[in-house]
Amino acid sequence: MLKIFIPSYQVNPHFGLSNVKIEIKAGEIYTLVGKSGSGKSTVAHIVVGLTKAEGSSILINKKELNAGALDRLIPQFKQAGYVPQNLHLKPHHTVSAYLDMLFQRLTEKERHKTIQHYLRLFHIQHLLHAKIIQLSGGERQKIALIEAVSQPIEYLVLDEPFSQLDTEQKIEFIQIIQDLVAYKQIPCLLISHDLVDIIKMSNKLGIIEKGKIAFQGDWDNFWGSTNKIALRLKQAMLNWKIETDTLLNNLK
């Protein structure tokens, strides 16, 4: 179980987070949605330890992660697997060299087996000898996700993992994430503004607005909610459905 509590965190004189409380169970995907600038990435940074928010609590399996000194040598909590919005991969490495580096703690035999497992799972066997710089945005997202889960982690945070993917890749990637989270039985915080992601993969949904969680709950709570912000998102989903249906009808 991942329990996040950020009572208050001022980012700049005009913007801050307040009373952000999120709980995610093992094997569960919680999607945090909100407009640009509503504070989603700020939450993610605090949850993985890249930003230290005094007085906040990040509890994973009853361990407090936010208790350490301010000047940690490695800023990110080691229990967190994190795929940031802007990926930082080594562009001139081949996929093979990059994966070897990620799994260097394993014996050669184990490393080979693990790398083959991930290549198959992510359908990227054919990219082993390509350089990272040559990969498409979606393929890079896959490598970043392998990197995030390459260490023994206790939870996963994905910041806009679908931003570079087309619809077909998205569906494939959603399945991969769902399988990973279920297999590893870890809590997953997903940050997204894409309605398709929300519908397809979350167990719970949180809507953040101006640094505050304006709505959160499971799907039953969401569909039954008369909360103004939830109603607005429902309307956006309905509009999206109408547009998609119209498009599909035109294809017939």
Ligand X SMILES: Nc1ncnc2c1ncn2[C@@H]1O[C@H](COP(=O)(O)OP(=O)(O)OP(=O)(O)O)[C@@H](O)[C@H]1O
Residues at the contact surface with ligand X, assessed by CB under 6 A: 11-12, 15, 34, 36-42, 193
Give the shortest CB-118-to-ligand X separation in angstroms. Answer: 28
Give the shortest CB-191-to-ligand X separation in angstroms. Answer: 7
For ligand X, the closer CB: 154 or 159: 159
For ligand X, the closer CB: 146 or 198: 198
Strand order in the sheet with 80-83: 80-83, 155-159, 188-191, 29-33, 204-209, 212-218
For ligand X, the closer CB: 51 or 114: 51
Give the shortest CB-35-to-ligand X separation in angstroms. Answer: 7
For ligand X, the closer CB: 95 or 157: 157
For ligand X, the closer CB: 42 or 216: 42
Alpha-carbon 208 to chain mean position = 15
Give the shortest CB-62-to-ligand X separation in angstroms. Answer: 28
Give the shortest CB-30-to-ligand X separation in angstroms. Answer: 16
Q: What is the 3 state secondary structure string of the chain?
A: CEEEEEEEEEEECCEEEEEEEEEECCCCEEEEECCCCCCHHHHHHHHHCCCCCCCCEEEECCEECCCCCCCCCCCCCCCEEEECCCCCCCCCCEHHHHHHHHCCCCCHHHHHHHHHHHHHHCCCHHHCCCEHHHCCHHHHHHHHHHHHHCCCCCEEEEECCCCCCCHHHHHHHHHHHHHHHHHHCCCEEEECCCHHHHHHHCCEEEEEECCEEEEEEEHHHHHHCCCHHHHHHHHHHHHHHHHHHHHHHHHC
For ligand X, the closer CB: 47 or 102: 47
Give the shortest CB-11-to-ligand X separation in angstroms. Answer: 4
